[in-house]
Amino acid sequence: MALLPVSDALGRLLRGVTPIRRSEMIGLHAAVGRVLAENVAARLTHPAFDNSAMDGYAGRYEDFAVVGAELTVIGQSAAGRGFAGHVGPGEVVRIFTGAPVPSGADTVLIQEDAEIIADKRIRTTFDPGKGRHIRPKGQDFRAGDVVLRKGELLDAGRLTIAAGMNHPELPVFMRPKVAILATGDELLPPGSLPGPDQIIASNTYGVAAIARDNGAEVIDLGIVRDDKTAISAAVAEAKAAGADVLVTLGGASVGDHDLVQSTLVASGMTLDFWQIAMRPGKPLMVGTLDGITVLGLPGNPVSSLVCALLFLEPLLRHLGSLPLRDRSGKAMTVTALAANDKRQDYVRARLSRDSDGALKVERFSRQDSSMMQVFAQSDCLIIRAPFAPEAKAGTICDILILRQPAL
């Protein structure tokens, strides 16, 4: 089977899935980062009344227009405690920010432009202009106005206005459900004491973190041994849990002990492809099983994480109607990079900035796909296209950003 270019593989993966349209109502505190499933209209008008934008005095402009006019303070209007009377000629009401503008008043004179000359008497020192410092009723929105729209990502600003529109809950698309299955007779959970032929299973935690960071709900199916019956039982559990995506870790190739692909095919999975022209991560499997997208990641930790970033992340954002995350960037390589072969290479590297703030990148000398420490210390992956020629130090390279370096 010919190796599939990375871009072609991603295109085929995304073309095979449609965004989730199941929805639910959730409270505002839980809604951050979720996507609206319906338009949302205001349930009330805001502001509900003309109110003051400043602390000062509410009165008639024709009185304020005469600089030096002496006016009588007839009461006070505060937020939540408005003035019930009417402002007449030569009268003002002491007013505070957010308080209702009293009947008869059409302008607010800020307190810095008023001189207190006696108890309940002020003198104007400035012509504020008619209508100044008043927020009119409905200036922000009116009842029935559609303010938030289907497909919008709920962030701090949108959640604030949703609350202001008097919505305690919002309709959002449901999160993609991702079931993660680790396979291998050699695997034990963290905290175990491994035997001479065993290792601690680590991939699940990094892949789950990537899934959650991209809006997914994670179902951990645990570790199953290299046994077709056990694998089939775990897949049945994923189906029963309503998984949208099944991620398998290891066993997706076609070796004597790689049973995941054959078991899934025997269970009805339609295999799309399973070999990618990339390093690390060549044995990546994509298929569909009873409406579930199956993504088989390699068993080596770095390969698993790189493939999760390249394929699982955009898949989940597409399913969840989230904007695709752009991790692309450019940086100047500090050291020379060797010519590449037929596979697209993702080289673990560290980022820094020069005195002008431009990004510099330095590859790690060791690139083995089992080395978790190198990946954990990496800020980016240098992308080396198939058959890329040698890149000398000082060359600008394409990178995939994992985390931003310190300024």
Band (pLDDT 50/70/90 cuts) for residue 198 is very high
Residue 71 has pLDDT above 70, yes or no: yes
Q: What is the pLDDT of residue 48?
A: 96
pLDDT 10s digits, 236-246: 999 999 999 99
Higher model confidence: residue 254 or residue 178?
178
240 within some domain? yes
Q: What is the pLDDT of residue 274?
A: 85
Whether the CB-CB separation of 243 and 190 falls below 8 Å is answered with no
407 within some domain? no
Residue 193 sits in a domain whose CATH number is: 3.40.980.10
Band (pLDDT 50/70/90 cuts) for residue 370 is confident
Band (pLDDT 50/70/90 cuts) for residue 257 is low
What is the residue range of 364's domain? 328-401
pLDDT 10s digits, 139-165: 999 999 999 999 999 999 999 999 999
pLDDT 10s digits, 40-55: 999 999 999 999 999 9
Structure tokens at 57: 């005095």
pLDDT 10s digits, 16-42: 899 999 999 999 999 999 999 999 999
Structure tokens at 83: 């003035």
406 within some domain? no
The verdict on 186 and 309 lying in the same domain is yes
Band (pLDDT 50/70/90 cuts) for residue 1 is low
Residue appearing with tokens 């995941």: 260
268 within some domain? yes
The verdict on 270 and 387 lying in the same domain is no
The verdict on 124 and 161 lying in the same domain is no
Q: What is the pLDDT of residue 254?
A: 57
Residue ending a domain, among 291, 319, 347, is 319
The verdict on 244 and 310 lying in the same domain is yes
Average pLDDT, the chain: 95
pTM for the whole structure: 0.89
Residue 273 has pLDDT above 60, yes or no: yes
Residue 347 sits in a domain whose CATH number is: 2.40.340.10
Whether the CB-CB separation of 401 and 350 falls below 8 Å is answered with no
The verdict on 83 and 207 lying in the same domain is no
Residue 206 has pLDDT above 80, yes or no: yes
Whether the CB-CB separation of 301 and 200 falls below 8 Å is answered with no
Domains in the chain, number: 4
Q: Which among 35, 22, 20, 8 has a CA at the least distance from the CA of 311?
A: 8
DSSP code, position 89: T
Q: What is the pLDDT of residue 404?
A: 84
259 within some domain? yes
The verdict on 298 and 222 lying in the same domain is yes
**CA torsion sign, 213 to 216 to 219 to 221?**
negative
Residue 355 has pLDDT above 90, yes or no: no
